[in-house]
Structure 1
Amino acid sequence: MAPRGGDGLLSYIPRTLLMRGRLKLVALAALALASVARPALAQSILRDAETEAFMADMSAPLVKAAGMQPRNVQIMVINNPEINAFVAGGQYVWVHSGLLAQADNVNQVQGVVAHELGHIEGGHIVRFGEGIKEATGVTLLSLVLGAAAIAAGGAEAGLGIMGLGQQAAMSRFLAFSRGQESSADLAGARYLSAAGISGKGSLEFFKKLQNQEYRLAIPQDNSYGRTHPLSGERISVLREVYTVDPAWEKSIDPQLEARFERIKAKLIGFVSEPTQTLQKYPESDQSIPAHYARAYAWHKSAYPQRALYEADALLAAAPNDPYFLELKGQILLESGRPKDAVAPLREAVRITNQPLISVLLAHALIATEDEANFAEAEQVLRLAVQRDRENPFAWYQLGVVYERRGDTPRAALATAERYAMMGQHPMALRSADAAMQGLQQGTVDYLRAQDIAMTSRAAIEQQRKKR
C-alpha cells in the first residue's frame, strides 16, 4: 500500500503524515473520466462529473449530520485497486477505486464515508502530531537513560533501555491511533443515525475487511501492534449500536442505488482491462450499467464503432441524460471526430453546466481548428475555471485559445495558473512575470499574475533553504 497521509480503513503499520491541507492537481488527461497524477501519493485521482455529483448527493446527509457544510466537503476517487479510504487534511475524503468496485451497494460506501467524516470532524489529522510527539518523548527519554547507563559502564543494560523505550514509544503511538479509529467508528454511526441511514452497509463492509484479514493471516486475538482495531472488534462494538437504531431496517434509496451501479460500472470500464470488463458485463447483459462499462471497454480497446453502439444504446434509453451525451461526445472526440463531438457535448453542458464537461466541450471546439469556434471555447473555459479553478487541463486549453487569438499576456497568465497548480514554481514564476509585462497594471489579471509571482518566489526560496 503506497504511503500516504491520514487514515486508512485497513492498514497494519503506522503511516507518516505526508501532507497537510489540500493536495494540488498535477496533470489532467482530456477524458470525461479523467486520471489526475499525484506523485506525492504515487497514485492518481479519477475526476468525473457524474461520479462527483453522485458522491456529493450520497454524502450530503452525512456531512450535515457531522455539522459541516456539503459545499465544503469533497469526496474524491483515487485510482487504486485496494479496498480503502482515507483523509489527508482539509475537508476531503479520498476513496480508492477498488473500494467502489468491491462495494455491493451504496449503503456500504456511505458507511465508509461516515467513518472518514468522523476523522475530519474529530480533527484527527491535526491531532496526529500529538501522538507522534508523545511517542517521540518516550523515545528521547529512553535514549538519554540508555546513554547514561552505557556511560556508567552498563553497555548491555543501556542498549536494553533504549530498545524498551523504542517499543514503548511504538505502543504509545499505536494505542493513540487505535483510539482515533474507534472514535471515528462511533462518530460515523452517529452520522448515519442522524441522517436516517442504516448501519447495515457499515457492518457488511467491515466484514469484507475482516475476510481480507483472514486471507492475509492477520492474528484475530488482539489488536496489539496495529494502527487499527481488528475488524472483528469493530463489528462487535458497532453491531450493538446499529441494531438498536431506528434506521437499522430502513431500505436503500433505489434511485441512489441505481446511480451507484452506473458509476461503479463506468469506473470498472475505465480502470480495468477491457477483457475483464467484458467478462463481468457480457453482451447478454443489456442493463444500463453493462452498456456503460462496455462502452469504456471498447473505447479503450480502440473499437470506436462498438463504443458508439453502446453509447447510442444508453441514449436510446435516456435521450436527455447529460452523462450519456458526454460519453458519446468523448468517444467521438477521442476517435478523431471533434466536429461530431461538439453537438452532444454542447447539449450536456446546457443541461448540467458542469465544469468538467465544459472543459471537454472546449477541447472539442478547439480541436475542430475552426477559428469560428474559439470565441465559444473561451467563454466556456472562463466559466469552467470560475467554478473549478483546480483543473490544469482547463488552464492549458484557455492558454491555447489566448495564444491563437494573439493575446500573449493572458496566455502566459493561464500557463502560470497551470504551473502553479502543478507545483512547478520556477515555471509559474517565469510565466507570471511574462504576463505582467503585457498586462495593464492594477487590472484583475495583472493582480492575479502578481499573486502567482509572489507565492512562487516564496516557494522557490523555501525550497532553496531546505537544501
Structure 2
Amino acid sequence: MTSRWLRFAAVAAASLALLARPAAAQQILRDAETEAFMADMSAPLVQAAGMEPRNVQVLVINDPNINAFVAGGQYVWVHSGLIAAADNVNQVQGVVAHELGHIEGGHVIRYGEGMKEATGITLLSLVLGAAAIAAGGAEAGMGILGMGQQAAMGKFLAFSRAQESSADLAGARYLSKAGVSGKGSLEFFKKLQNQEYRLAIPQDDSYGRTHPLSGERINVLREVYTVDPAWDKPMDPKLEARFERIKAKLVGFVSEPSQTLLKYPESDQSLPAHYARAYAWHKSAYPDKALAEVDALLAAAPHDPYFLELKGQVLLESGKPADAIPPLREAVQLTNQPLIATLLGHALIATENDANFAEAEKVLRNAIARDRENPFAWYQLGVVYEHRGDLPRAALATAERYSMMGEDQMALRSADAAMQGLKPGTVDYLRAQDIAMVSRAAVEQKRKKR
C-alpha cells in the first residue's frame, strides 16, 4: 500500500473489487481470498528476510504486464498479468522473494543516492563544458556536455542494475532459509528471457538497461539454487491448489469473458475452471449461468467461505439482496474477513428493510475496525447513519471515504460539516478535525502549485 493511497474506482460492491491510488492511477484488486493466499504464501519468506509477516503486505494490481515492484513501505505489488503468466506458486514465490530483497536493502530509499551521483556528474560536466565554451572551444564544450550526460546515465543505470543483482541474491537467501526451492525463480526468469528474445533485445550486453539481462541473472542464480538443500523440495500441494484457484478467479475477473471461456472451456470441470467461468458469466450478465458454476463449486465444498462469498455477490448484484444474505453471513462467520463483511453489510442495506439496518451497522463497524482503508465500507456506513438520522456521523463517514479517494476538497467539506454536529472533544469530533486539517493543508498545497 505504500505512498499510493486507496481511492475507490469501480465494481464497488464486488467481493473482488478494484480500487486505485491516485498517485499512480493504479487499480488495486481487493479480494479476501487473494489477500489471505498472498499472506500465507509469502509469510515464510518474510520471516526469512527478518521482517514481521503482519507488517508486510503483498497486493495485486490490475495490470496485464508481467511485473512486480516495491514503492516504499513494506508492500509488494504484483501485477495480475504476472499471476496469469505464472505456471505455479513457486514461480510467484521467487518473484516475491526478489521484491522483499528490495525492501530489506532499502532500495527505494537509496534510489536517491543513485540520482545524486548521476546529478553530480551532470553538474560537473556543465561547469567544465561552459568553461570550455567560454574559452572559445565551443565544439569541445558541447562534447564535454554530451559525454557528461552519457556518463551520468551510465552511472545511474549501473546503480540500478547493482540493486537488482543484490535483490536477486537476497531473494535466493530467503528462499533457502524458508526451505522453498529456487526452481520457480529460475523458471520465471526464463519466461522473462523469452520475452526479451521476442522483443529482439540484444543478449550480449546489459549496458543501457536498468536491469541485468535475464540470461545473466539465470547464470548467476543457477549456481546458487542448484546446490541448495531445498532445490528438489516439492511444492506444497495445498498451497499450489490455492494458487490455481486464485489464478482462475483473477483471470475470470480481469479478462474478457470470451478469453476466459477459451482458457477454461465447459469441458474443464475442475474447481478452478468453474471459478473462472462463474466470474466470466457474471461479467457477461448471465446470472443463472454464473450461479450454476457457483453451485458446482459448492457441491464439491459446501462450506467453502469464498464460494459462499461468490454466490452472495452474484445474487446481490443480480438484484436479489435478501437471497444473498444467508451465504454471506456464513462466509463472514467462517472467515471474519472485513471485505466479505462489507459485502454482507451492503446486502443488508440493499434489502431496504429497516429491520436489517442495525445488523448492517454492526457488521460494517466491525469491518472498518479491521480494515479502515476500504472506501466502500465507509460509504455503506454513511448510508446507515443517514438512514437513522445521524447526519454528523454520516458526514464523518463521507469525509473518511473522500480522504482515501484523494478528494481533498470534498473531504474538507464533509469533515467541517461533521464537526458542526459532533460534540467537541469526542473521538469522532477529533477524527473529523484531523481529516479537516490534513485535507485543508493538501488543498492549500495544490492551490500554491497552480
TM-score range, shorter chain: over 0.9
Correspondent of 2:7 among 15, 21, 26: 26
Matches within 5 A, 1:149-228: 149-228=132-211
Correspondence for 1:282: 265
* Alpha-carbon distance, 1:42 to partner: 3.6
Correspondent of 1:57 among 19, 40, 45: 40
* Alpha-carbon distance, 1:41 to partner: 2.5
Correspondent of 2:215 among 232, 255, 267: 232
Greater mean alpha carbon deviation, residues 28-37 or residues 162-171: 28-37
* Alpha-carbon distance, 1:423 to partner: 1.4
Is the partner of 1:345 in helix, strand or coil?
helix
Q: Using the alignment, how far apart are the partners of 1:71 and 1:242 within structure 2?
A: 28
Correspondent of 2:93 among 107, 110, 114: 110
Deviations 1:286-332 (A, max 9, x none): 11000000000111111100000000000010011000000000000
Q: Using the alignment, how far apart are the partners of 1:245 and 1:22 within structure 2?
A: 36
Is the partner of 1:41 in helix, strand or coil?
coil
Q: Using the alignment, how far apart are the partners of 2:388 and 2:6 within structure 1?
A: 27
Matches within 5 A, 1:90-101: 90-101=73-84
CA contact (8 A) 2:176 2:230 kept: yes
Q: What is the TM-score of this pair, normalised by structure 2? A: 0.98
Correspondence for 1:461: 444
Matched, 1:419 2:402: yes
| Structure 2 residue identity aligned to 1:360 | L
Correspondence for 1:354: 337
Correspondence for 1:245: 228
| Structure 1 residue identity aligned to 2:320 | R
Correspondence for 1:134: 117
Correspondence for 1:5: none
Q: Using the alignment, how far apart are the partners of 1:168 and 1:350 within structure 2?
A: 61
Correspondence for 2:435: 452
Matched, 1:272 2:255: yes
Correspondence for 1:123: 106
Q: Using the alignment, how far apart are the partners of 2:342 and 2:106 within structure 1?
A: 35
* Alpha-carbon distance, 1:112 to partner: 0.1
* Alpha-carbon distance, 1:241 to partner: 0.3
* Alpha-carbon distance, 1:51 to partner: 0.2
Correspondence for 1:378: 361
Is the partner of 2:19 in helix, strand or coil?
strand
Q: Using the alignment, how far apart are the partners of 1:139 and 1:236 within structure 2?
A: 34
Correspondent of 2:59 among 76, 79, 82: 76
Correspondent of 1:306 among 279, 289, 292: 289
Q: Using the alignment, how far apart are the partners of 2:268 and 2:398 within structure 1?
A: 46
| Structure 2 residue identity aligned to 1:148 | A
CA gap 1:21/1:298 in 2 versus in 1, 3 angstroms? closer
| Structure 1 residue identity aligned to 2:4 | L
Matched, 1:320 2:284: no
CA contact (8 A) 2:409 2:443 kept: yes
Deviations 1:112-151 (A, max 9, x none): 0000000000000000011001101100111111111111
* Alpha-carbon distance, 1:39 to partner: 4.0
Q: How many residues align?
A: 448
Correspondence for 1:7: none
The percentage of aligned residue pairs carrying the same residue is: 83
Q: Using the alignment, how far apart are the partners of 2:58 and 2:296 within structure 1?
A: 30
Q: Using the alignment, how far apart are the partners of 2:25 and 2:427 within structure 1?
A: 36
CA contact (8 A) 2:7 2:405 kept: yes
Unaligned runs of 5+ in 2: none
* Alpha-carbon distance, 1:465 to partner: 2.9
Q: Using the alignment, how far apart are the partners of 2:100 and 2:187 within structure 1?
A: 19
Q: Using the alignment, how far apart are the partners of 1:191 and 1:278 within structure 2?
A: 38
Correspondence for 2:31: 48
| Structure 2 residue identity aligned to 1:25 | L
Is the partner of 2:8 in helix, strand or coil?
coil
Correspondence for 1:261: 244
Is the partner of 2:282 in helix, strand or coil?
helix
Q: Using the alignment, how far apart are the partners of 1:113 and 1:447 within structure 2?
A: 39
Q: Using the alignment, how far apart are the partners of 2:155 and 2:246 within structure 1?
A: 41
CA contact (8 A) 2:63 2:81 kept: yes
Deviations 1:14-37 (A, max 9, x none): xxxxxx943211115211111113
* Alpha-carbon distance, 1:466 to partner: 2.7
Deviations 1:184-227 (A, max 9, x none): 00000000000000000000000000000000000000110000
| Structure 1 residue identity aligned to 2:3 | R
Q: Using the alignment, how far apart are the partners of 2:344 and 2:249 within structure 1?
A: 20
Q: What is the TM-score of this pair, normalised by structure 1? A: 0.95
* Alpha-carbon distance, 1:369 to partner: 0.5
Is the partner of 2:265 in helix, strand or coil?
coil
